[in-house]
């Protein structure tokens, strides 16, 4: 091959330099594109946030604030011909007609949140007579009272579109309101019951079961695999949801087979999901009048439940062996 000339060397150097410049320009171009994309993303995010904020402002602007009663202490109304009265004592809501009723707080807290600030969708200008809106004899009357002693009544009348006609206090103004205003109060009493939570036991968690009836006691340990498997299946299948009596008085114990002569006491020891040993006790009573369920009570609770009697057949068989 021939000898490289000075001109060839110069051309090679220029070619390499040119390549570097092209690469550098390409990198600069890509960085520029990246900056533009980041700018677009940030701008889009800002635009979305501004749009959401504006929509929220417009939504709030459409809301008509009718009445505010902070710190409610009493809520009462009639639903399905039943009178409901809830009072707040020491920070806890109670069912006033019977304070022993185990009231689920979340239901009444939802009522409290709904009625503390009463809002409407719009106010009717030049409203007609109350009878035209079903407000002369309203379908619902909700009485509210707060800790400052302020009281007001909320009246709900005929349905309209996706809501209802509403008036408050002296009935001087008529509004339309979302149908959701009635959602918190459309429950019967037993739907407001706070059920006991029966512990859930997984396979392999049961350590010991002690069953006692009258003067007889049977103990089943984890080592007795067949018996423990049977008990795990039976106890693990118990759910407490069908309430027979929300507060059993001592004098009523024999009616449910919860008296000392008839009740079966079941003491359970198990290991929870955190590998900690836990204990609980439940009681099995008589069969109900339909012959389909047994009465069950958890621990010191006063609530009596009905549970499918077939869940206890194998337990009874083990105990009676």
pLDDT of residue 56: 44
pLDDT of residue 28: 66
Q: What is the dihedral of CA 61, 66, 68, 74, to 10 degrees?
A: -140
* Fold designation for 206-320: Immunoglobulin-like (2.60.40)
- Could you tell me the residue ranges of all domains in the chain? 64-192, 206-320
Instruction: Tell me the pTM.
Output: 0.77
Alpha carbon 293 to its chain centroid, in Å, reads 28
Q: Among candidates 237, 238, 209, which has minimal Cα distance to 223?
A: 209
For residue 210, CA distances in Å to 160, 206, 269 come to 61, 12, 9
Averages of pLDDT over runs of 10 residues in the chain (321 residues) are 55 56 66 74 67 47 87 96 96 98 98 97 96 96 97 97 96 97 96 97 95 96 96 95 98 98 98 96 98 98 98 94 80
Tokens of 25: 């320009």
Q: Report the 3 state secondary structure along 17-30.
A: HHHHHHHHHHHHHH
Secondary structure of residue 163 in the 3-state scheme: strand
pLDDT of residue 1: 47
Q: Among candidates 196, 219, 199, which has minimal Cα distance to 271?
A: 199
Pairwise CA distance, residues 310 & 152, whole Å: 52
């Amino acid at each position: 091959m021939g000898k490289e000339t000075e001109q060839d060397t110069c051309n090679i150097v220029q070619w390499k330099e040119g390549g570097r410049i092209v690469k550098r320009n390409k990198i600069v171009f890509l960085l520029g594109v990246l900056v533009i994309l980041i700018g677009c993303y940030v701008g889009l995010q800002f635009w979305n946030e501004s749009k959401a904020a504006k929509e929220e402002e417009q939504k709030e602007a459409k809301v008509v604030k009718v009445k505010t009663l902070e710190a409610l202490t009493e809520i009462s109304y009639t639903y399905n011909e039943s009178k409901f009265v809830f009072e707040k004592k020491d920070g806890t809501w109670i069912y006033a007609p019977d304070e022993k009723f185990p009231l689920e707080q979340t239901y009444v807290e939802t009522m409290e949140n709904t009625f503390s600030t009463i809002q409407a969708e719009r106010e009717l200008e030049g409203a007609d007579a109350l009878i035209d809106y079903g407000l002369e004899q309203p379908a619902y009357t909700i009485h509210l009272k707060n800790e400052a002693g302020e009281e007001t009544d909320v009246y709900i009348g005929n349905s309209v579109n996706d809501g209802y006609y509403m008036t408050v206090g002296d009935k001087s103004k008529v509004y339309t309101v979302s149908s959701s205003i009635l959602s918190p109060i459309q429950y019967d009493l037993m739907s407001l019951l706070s059920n006991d939570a029966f512990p859930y036991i997984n396979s392999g968690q049961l350590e010991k079961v002690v069953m006692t009836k009258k003067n007889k006691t049977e103990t089943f340990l984890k080592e007795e695999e067949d018996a423990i498997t049977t008990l795990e299946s039976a106890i693990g299948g118990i759910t407490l949801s069908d309430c027979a009596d929300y507060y059993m008085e001592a004098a009523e114990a024999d009616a449910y087979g919860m008296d000392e002569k008839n009740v079966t006491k079941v003491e359970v020891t198990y290991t929870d999901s955190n590998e900690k040993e836990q204990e609980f006790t439940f009681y099995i009573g008589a069969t109900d009048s339909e012959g389909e369920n047994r009465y069950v009570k958890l621990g010191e609770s006063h609530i009596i439940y009905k549970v499918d009697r077939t869940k206890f057949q194998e337990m009874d068989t083990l105990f009676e062996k």
